[in-house]
Amino acid sequence: MFYLQFPRKFARIGWIVLTMLTMSLYVDSAAFGAVVKVSACDSLGGTDSPSFGYEVISKSGLYVIYSGALVTETNGTTSITSSNIYVIKGRPSAGKTLVWVFGNGYGDAANPAIPGDLSDVELYRSSTKPARNAKVDACYLNYVISNELGVPANLASMRFLAPHYHLDHINQEFLTELAPLGYQMTYSKFYVHVRDSLAITNTCNSKCCGQVGTDGKCNRNTTNYWAAPFKSVWDAGALATLVKLGSESDAICTQISKPVSGQVSGFQSTMGDWVLNLGPTDHTRGPLYLSLSGATDGKNYLIKGADGQNGVVDPCDSVFPATSYVVLGIHGRQVGF
């Protein structure tokens, strides 16, 4: 089994979960089109790169925004990495258009006006820092929704799906920046699998939410709170929109259950019907995979909400083989928390 990972252009780095799956075939992002730069967003500050921007995966209604970070390698050089924010055009609903967003990016960088300030990412991994603030990522999302999807902010009904609970994919900073752009966040929904919902609370205001493992340390091997976002705590408004999906009994690689009325296990889009699957639980306990068979552009898609561990074959590859699916990752070639 070989594995199609999107995109190719980023340098390889290692964070906590190391490297890519073996026997990998990578498709250059040019297969989907060039990275589009939006000067109005890039001008909002931070470190820019030709790799930061957005790409059209399918004009039928699938786009990706690259939230960027800078990584200091062991030899002192600096490379870039991305946390991908996928945007999917949904169906009309109550006079608005549903817009599904899979991923939030890295959140805010450190505040240079505060001596010694660090971002959430740096507090967990000192070698890595966001290249730009969540304001830039939100600007790009607004551009894609307005200019690619053709949906005005006030007519977009936002639906946020958490790939998994780590701070480089869900954070309050990103959601905070959308309201000033005209998005009615009170009517949005924020979905996370119940297994990954522990750290999404406004009481989490320290590294690992103050929770340590049996060894007394805060790391991914000993606590379910590793890489939980905390510097910007979840506010009451965001928590009011939170929907916990599935159940503890959900089986990996299968469609998540709907034990409570009002939950979702899939959604309609202009491309076809997406299914929410529970991914392998070696990264976090409740990562989401999004799958679509028979898209309007004639392809099958799988978006993986977590990276596989080094040398471990993803068991879901047998369910969604890369020979049949365009497999998209939540990071670039490199991996994240």
Could you tell me if 168 and 220 are in contact, meaning their C-beta atoms sit under 8 angstroms apart?
no
Residue 230's pLDDT is 95
For the record, the structure tokens of 275 come out as: 């299914």
Contact between 69 and 128 under an 8 Å Cβ cutoff? The reply is yes
Q: Are strands 24-26 and 54-58 parallel, antiparallel or unpaired?
A: unpaired
Supply the pLDDT for residue 32: 64
| pLDDT reported for residue 74 | 87
* Assessment of whether the complete model's pTM goes beyond 0.75: yes
* Residue range 221-253, pLDDT digits in tens: 888 899 999 999 999 999 999 999 999 999 999
If one counts every other C-beta atom within 10 angstroms of the C-beta of residue 97, the result is: 18
| pLDDT for 216 | 86
pLDDT values of the chain reduced to their tens digit, one per residue, 337 residues: 223 333 433 333 333 332 222 222 223 333 467 899 999 999 999 999 999 999 999 999 999 999 999 999 889 888 999 999 999 999 999 999 999 999 999 999 999 999 999 999 999 999 999 999 999 999 999 999 999 999 999 999 999 999 999 999 999 999 999 999 999 999 999 999 999 999 999 999 999 999 988 888 898 888 889 999 999 999 999 999 999 999 999 999 999 999 998 899 999 999 999 999 999 998 899 999 999 999 999 999 999 999 877 778 999 999 999 999 999 999 974 434 4
For residues 180-213, one letter each, b for 16 or more C-beta atoms within 10 angstroms of the residue's C-beta and e for the rest, the string is ebebebeebbbbbbbbbbbbbeeebeebbbebeb
CA–centroid distance for 320 within its chain: 20
Q: Domain-by-domain residue ranges, the chain?
A: 25-254
Q: With contact defined as beta carbons under 8 Å apart, do 271 and 61 qualify?
A: yes
- 247 vs 20: CA distance, rounded Å: 29
> Residue 258 CA to chain centroid, in angstroms?
22
